[in-house]
Structure 1
Amino acid sequence: MSVKVYSTPSCPWCVKAKDYLKANNIAFQEYDVSVDREAATDMIEKSGQRGVPVLDIDGNIIVGFDQKNIAKLLNL
């Protein structure tokens, strides 16, 4: 399973999303789109959004901390 989290350090919902993944022992790659221009471009192309967090779970895009859909995609 591939989980990517596009976030910024100042985003409280990003922290909640990452804490939720950590609490459920889900490994993820984190991309700080405030400094990583390539990751920011990738996130915008995938989601059509500039807001964070954006989660990419095996190619399924979730914008924001949508715990219900995150849990569903991760079979939690």
Structure 2
Amino acid sequence: MKEVHVYTQPDCPPCQIIKQYLVHHGIEFKVFNVAEDAEARNRMTGQLKSFSTPTVTIDGETVAGFDLQKLEKLLGLDK
């Protein structure tokens, strides 16, 4: 099973779509609310070099913003 992390914030429609997409495909994921979790926000901006939500990591690969094609590829759903 792939390790999936979703960095999100309230009132982010693309974040909600990404989470619904993952749920629809039965993919387990951990959510980090960067508006409330300073450590997660610092990890997203510092380590992952991403400054927008949603930011998704899949087994260490980062997808910044709403990039459904890249998500599908990394999740193996593009077949």
TM-score (norm 2): 0.91
Q: Unaligned regions of 5+ residues in structure 2, if any?
A: none
Q: Unaligned regions of 5+ residues in structure 1, if any?
A: none
C-alpha deviation, 1:45, in angstroms: 1.9
- Kept in 2, the 8 Å contact 1:62–1:70? The answer is yes
Moved over 2 A (4+): none
- Kept in 2, the 8 Å contact 1:52–1:64? The answer is yes
Map 1:1-76 to 2 at 5 A: 1-76=2-77
C-alpha deviation, 1:22, in angstroms: 0.6
Q: How many residues align?
A: 76
SS of the equivalent of 1:55 reads strand
State the identity %.
Answer: 37
Q: Give the aligned CA root-mean-square deviation in angstroms.
A: 0.9
